[in-house]
Structure 1
Amino acid sequence: MKRTFLLIALLAQGLAGCTQLTPTEQMIKDLDYLNKKIQRQFDSFTPIVKDNFQSEIATIKSNLSNLKPYEFPCEIMRVLSMLKDGHTELNIGQLKVGFHRLPLLLYNYEGDFRVVGAHENYAELLGAKIVSISDTPIDEVFATLKKRMSADNDKEYLHAGPGYLILTELLACMSITNDPQKARVSFESTNGDLIQKNFEGLTAEEYQNGNWRYARESEPPLYLSNRKDSYWYHWLAKEGVMYVHISRLNNQKGTSSIKKFTSTLFEEVDQKRPFKLIIDVRLNNGGNYNLSRPIVEAIKEREWLNQKGKLWMITGRRTFSAASAMAIFLIKETEVTLIGESGRTHPNQADNNEYMSLPYSDYLIEYTTKIKKHWPERPQLTMIPVDIEILPDFESYRQGRGIVMEYILKQ
């Protein structure tokens, strides 16, 4: 009996060995799965992009033997960008991809990539501008990166680009560097000095757990004062202004629903009768736009509040998806004034998105499954325009100033 069980076990191991896929075969399976999902479920107003996608998938499959392992996710990122949809992407910075990082936090201010955060042993770089990576000027690096990014409009590049520029394997994929875990970067300091650093890429854990230093020299402005709660409000008694911050249009676990939050908020609004109501969605990257309807309806019910100069919405380059739909609701149905920076959403494109995990690499991919024209009266738009544009600048960030709020409060 023991011999029988042993023979069965050995046979099972042998069969498992026969069916085990090679790395190349696994990549082919992932690509086939991705293409099948896109062809069946991806929705677009320009169907030809799906044909182009399928053709490029075939090209990638024919070249797999020449790819280095870290180049495979780069190719998936690139081919998804061909669908020309900001909701459809592989976020190549996700942990499952495993790319290494430079110990920097970047932000694009007025066309410059500034170091706004760094591990403490690179604190001298705080506030510096990137000049080049290896011998490639930063503008050329950024132009190369944009060709691989999924985007609805140019604001996506400003929002997500800084995070991608610190991924060492991605820099190697773009032929900016030769080593996928090293990078030589040149900076111009705030004093105008040229600084050159050779970096070793860090794992995501090493990056996250480093001792961070930041370029901001004072307390953060109001909109950054509470990063824990997805929705909250603050009464500015001196100014007679109600400030509402919504960073996600999903009901947050452990707290009131957005509907209940709205009820509580407007009970206080009715009591305080503010001179201005400010709704800030500049950090909001989406959710369920239907959850914004109670706020929109509550404003419409209050004629004394729904007036030009009283009702404001702040948007920014991060503003996306459901938050942009909320902005459209307010533009079309109320007397809101939009201020700040236009967001990264096309107003007449994605309406619903889903996620897939590739069967072998386990990369998580987001993709659009339903499209809708939220603003069909403005078909030419690629982004939602603001009434008053106030772009972020480094000096205001460094000083901890909220320049958009400053403007509104002076009106």
Structure 2
Amino acid sequence: MSVNVAAQSVAEWRQDIGILTGKIEQYHPLPWAKISRGAFVGRAEEIKASLPNWNRERIILELMKLVASLRDGHTGILLNNQNSFNLWFPVRFEKFHDGLFITAADTKNSGLLGAKVLHIGNLDAGSAYSQIGKIFASDSDHGLARSATNYLSNAVILKTLGIIDSQRLLPLEVLLSDGTKREISAESAAWRMGFNLSYFKTTVPTNNGTKTIFDDKLDSLPLYLSKVIPSRVPYWFEYVPDDKLIYFQYNNVTNWNKEPFSDFTKRLFKTYDEHVSEIDKFVIDVRFNSGGNGYLLPPFVREFVLRRDSLPRGKLYIITGRDTFSAASNFIGRMLKNTTAITVGDIAAGPLNWCSDTVRFDLPNSHLMVNVSTMFWQEGHATDSRGYYPPDYYMPTTFKDYLSFSGPVLEAIKNNEAVSLKDVLFNEGVEKFRAELQRRERRCGPKEVWFPYTSFDLALYALLTLAPAGKMDEASEISRLNTVLYPEDMRAWYFLAEINEQRGELKEALESYEKLFSIEPHIPEARSSYHNLMLLITFNDQGRGGLVDLYKELKKKHPDEINEGTLNTFGYQLLRGKKIQEAIEVFKLNVDLHPDYANGYDSLAEAYLNAGENELAVKNYKKSLELDPGNNNAKEMLKRLQQK
């Protein structure tokens, strides 16, 4: 339903704003995850106060900005039924890693095809893109490219945001494909609001004839564009014997009326099973998949799990892109948890933890259509709040590659170049890892932009994969990198301290703990480890005398933390490290300082037992039992020793 609304009163707008805020709080599972309620409500009140000074279009865009501040790509205000926005410029803008480009236009402006946009109206192209990005729903800035095409050509939006001075003309400065700069102005015309431009790669907001960068290439498109241009097929695959691969392009998580997804799944895996010995790579391309029905995914993912033995690491790949979103990210998360898939391509707009399953309602006075998420999905680690998904092997989408109609991502997979950094570190060591990290930075820019792993992910990989495999140099390398990438994450410093301690780098471990405490001083387990480490370093350097002095000093400073149990724990740390005589010395010191500490004698007895000094063990078990007649461990150990 299109809406032509008469002027609304301020009171009616305020009522709509109140309903909008109420609906978000009522339905959204995590409305204040990225912005505080106070900040959101405060901005809503500012909008209410400014209502008398703004026209309808300005009010709508300010409300769109307000909802977009939630940073939920599924929750936003739609303009589909707002006739006052049905004025467009006949050019299609698309954002790539190397800039903003014109990929389609009406025939009058076809000379602009392939041009790089330098300025739009009053702003440089990057600033104009950023201004547009503030009004629509996205989970992060990486999600802007997915929807910017829907708004950059709209004359009303550009004028209302102050990017252009007149709704009639769009002044552009462009860099043409021949390297020359040109200033032009495109004229606006009415076009029925659709806001689905980004999905259909050849759509231009005009009723006139159009030209695209693909028009003379339709017979020679690369594999990944062959079923996207001019129209999109929901899912299809091709077995390519010459390349020893099966290529499956998954463009929409849906049940296609021409072939239900369950039937397609059977046909896909029948082909794979028949040629499994001849297939080196199974490639799943979701770079153009913006979602759909995620409930279709579990049985499909199960088919890959059933074939885990025939799909080892290095055989199964998922290609991601700027349009990868919602149920497509759901698919990626499930595959990463259940298979050995390596992800390759551009950063996905959709995160692995997200809100979706929207409810749509109309505001009663303005008739604005609003989508609000009602469910939270978690397919990534609980600590992953980035709002996007960076693949294992990052290959940004450039217009140069797009225009050349090449398929560099698929070529990287076929040539075994698409390797995860984790695999490089585990299989090739620290030096190769450093070299590869530097190579990727030279090619892709600062690692902070594209680095694929969260802090907790790095910590787990160091502690649960590298360290148990005896790869302590590698564990140290990735733990140090963790603190460089995430210097304010307490876990990064905590785990680096533990790795340093395991490597025997005690002073470095002490420094890591101190950095941890500068971020978060109130972690009892960490403080206990820190104090034990101080005791160990002092004991190693200064012997018993230094240990006594430090213990007394710490006990005076931290009477609630340092006691006989501290020395006992330290003694066991030595005992577990097979430093039996040192442990005996510490336990003896403990009972000397705390002669009524029953457990201290029990621990000393255990250390003597480990040293083969049974008589001294018996003596100290008896002393422990004398102080604590209920010590069942001492009773049992004495019984065993006396039977020998």
Range class of TM-score, shorter chain: 0.7 to 0.9
Partner of 2:247: 243
1:357 aligns with 2:362: yes
CA contact 1:247–1:283 (8 Å) conserved in 2: yes
How far residue 317 of structure 1 moved from its aligned partner, in angstroms, is 0.6
Relative distance call for 1:26 and 1:255 in structure 2 (3 A) is farther
Q: What letter matches 1:309 in structure 2?
A: G
Partner of 2:212: 214
Distance of 2:84 and 2:98 partners within structure 1: 29
User: Superposed, which structure 2 residues align to 1:9-88 within 5 Å?
Assistant: 23-24=8-9, 26-44=12-30, 46=32, 49-88=36-75
Partner of 1:312: 317
Partner of 1:128: 115
Higher relative contact order (CA 8 A, sep 6+): 1
Distance of 1:379 and 1:157 partners within structure 2: 19
Q: What letter matches 2:297 in structure 1?
A: S
* Secondary structure, aligned partner of 2:402: helix
* Secondary structure, aligned partner of 2:371: strand
Partner of 1:263: 266
Distance of 2:222 and 2:24 partners within structure 1: 42
Relative distance call for 1:29 and 1:181 in structure 2 (3 A) is farther
Of 402, 406, 409, which aligns to 2:411?
A: 406
* Secondary structure, aligned partner of 2:150: helix
Taking only the aligned residue pairs, the percentage that are identical comes to 23
TM-score by length of 2: 0.57
User: Superposed, which structure 2 residues align to 1:132-171 within 5 Å?
Assistant: 132-171=119-158
CA contact 2:98–2:398 (8 Å) conserved in 1: no
Query: For each residue in 1:199-231, what CA deviation from the matched residue of structure 2 results, as whole angstroms up to 9, or x when unmatched?
Result: 222223482433221224523222222234312
TM-score by length of 1: 0.87
**Higher deviation after alignment, 376-385 or 223-232:** 376-385
Partner of 1:4: none
Relative distance call for 1:305 and 1:201 in structure 2 (3 A) is farther
CA contact 1:38–1:50 (8 Å) conserved in 2: no
Relative distance call for 1:340 and 1:130 in structure 2 (3 A) is same
CA contact 1:305–1:311 (8 Å) conserved in 2: no
How far residue 290 of structure 1 moved from its aligned partner, in angstroms, is 2.6
Q: What letter matches 2:62 in structure 1?
A: E
Q: What letter matches 1:312 in structure 2?
A: Y
1:177 aligns with 2:178: no
CA contact 2:85–2:157 (8 Å) conserved in 1: no
How far residue 329 of structure 1 moved from its aligned partner, in angstroms, is 0.9
Distance of 1:232 and 1:30 partners within structure 2: 45
Relative distance call for 1:251 and 1:107 in structure 2 (3 A) is same
Query: For each residue in 1:358-401, what CA deviation from the matched residue of structure 2 results, as whole angstroms up to 9, or x when unmatched?
Result: 33443332221222332225535432221111122223222221
Distance of 1:283 and 1:132 partners within structure 2: 28
* Secondary structure, aligned partner of 2:172: strand
Of 89, 108, 121, which aligns to 2:95?
A: 108
1:296 aligns with 2:301: yes
How far residue 61 of structure 1 moved from its aligned partner, in angstroms, is 2.8
* Secondary structure, aligned partner of 1:256: coil
**Higher deviation after alignment, 122-131 or 270-279:** 270-279
* Secondary structure, aligned partner of 2:384: coil
CA contact 1:74–1:92 (8 Å) conserved in 2: no
Query: For each residue in 1:166-203, what CA deviation from the matched residue of structure 2 results, as whole angstroms up to 9, or x when unmatched?
Result: 11111112212222343211112122322122222222
Q: What letter matches 1:212 in structure 2?
A: T
Of 231, 234, 237, which aligns to 2:235?
A: 231
Distance of 1:126 and 1:21 partners within structure 2: 39
CA contact 1:93–1:167 (8 Å) conserved in 2: no
Partner of 1:12: none
Of 374, 381, 396, which aligns to 1:376?
A: 381
Q: How many residues align?
A: 391
Query: For each residue in 1:237-264, what CA deviation from the matched residue of structure 2 results, as whole angstroms up to 9, or x when unmatched?
Result: 3223221111111223x23332232122
1:342 aligns with 2:328: no
Q: What letter matches 2:272 in structure 1?
A: V
How far residue 91 of structure 1 moved from its aligned partner, in angstroms, is 4.1
How far residue 78 of structure 1 moved from its aligned partner, in angstroms, is 0.9
Distance of 1:79 and 1:403 partners within structure 2: 39
* Secondary structure, aligned partner of 2:298: helix
Distance of 2:122 and 2:232 partners within structure 1: 41
Q: Which runs of 5+ in 1 are unaligned?
A: 1-19
Q: What letter matches 1:88 in structure 2?
A: T
Higher helix share: 2
* Secondary structure, aligned partner of 2:322: coil
Distance of 2:260 and 2:311 partners within structure 1: 24
Relative distance call for 1:96 and 1:35 in structure 2 (3 A) is farther
Distance of 2:99 and 2:232 partners within structure 1: 29
CA contact 1:81–1:89 (8 Å) conserved in 2: yes
How far residue 121 of structure 1 moved from its aligned partner, in angstroms, is 1.1
CA contact 1:45–1:349 (8 Å) conserved in 2: no
Q: What letter matches 2:20 in structure 1?
A: L
How far residue 281 of structure 1 moved from its aligned partner, in angstroms, is 0.8
Relative distance call for 1:23 and 1:328 in structure 2 (3 A) is same
* Secondary structure, aligned partner of 2:292: coil
CA contact 1:340–1:404 (8 Å) conserved in 2: yes
Distance of 1:129 and 1:369 partners within structure 2: 40
**Higher deviation after alignment, 187-196 or 219-228:** 219-228
Distance of 2:83 and 2:254 partners within structure 1: 25
Relative distance call for 1:249 and 1:30 in structure 2 (3 A) is same
Q: What letter matches 2:347 in structure 1?
A: S
CA contact 1:88–1:150 (8 Å) conserved in 2: yes
Distance of 2:362 and 2:83 partners within structure 1: 10
Q: What letter matches 2:191 in structure 1?
A: A
Relative distance call for 1:255 and 1:270 in structure 2 (3 A) is same
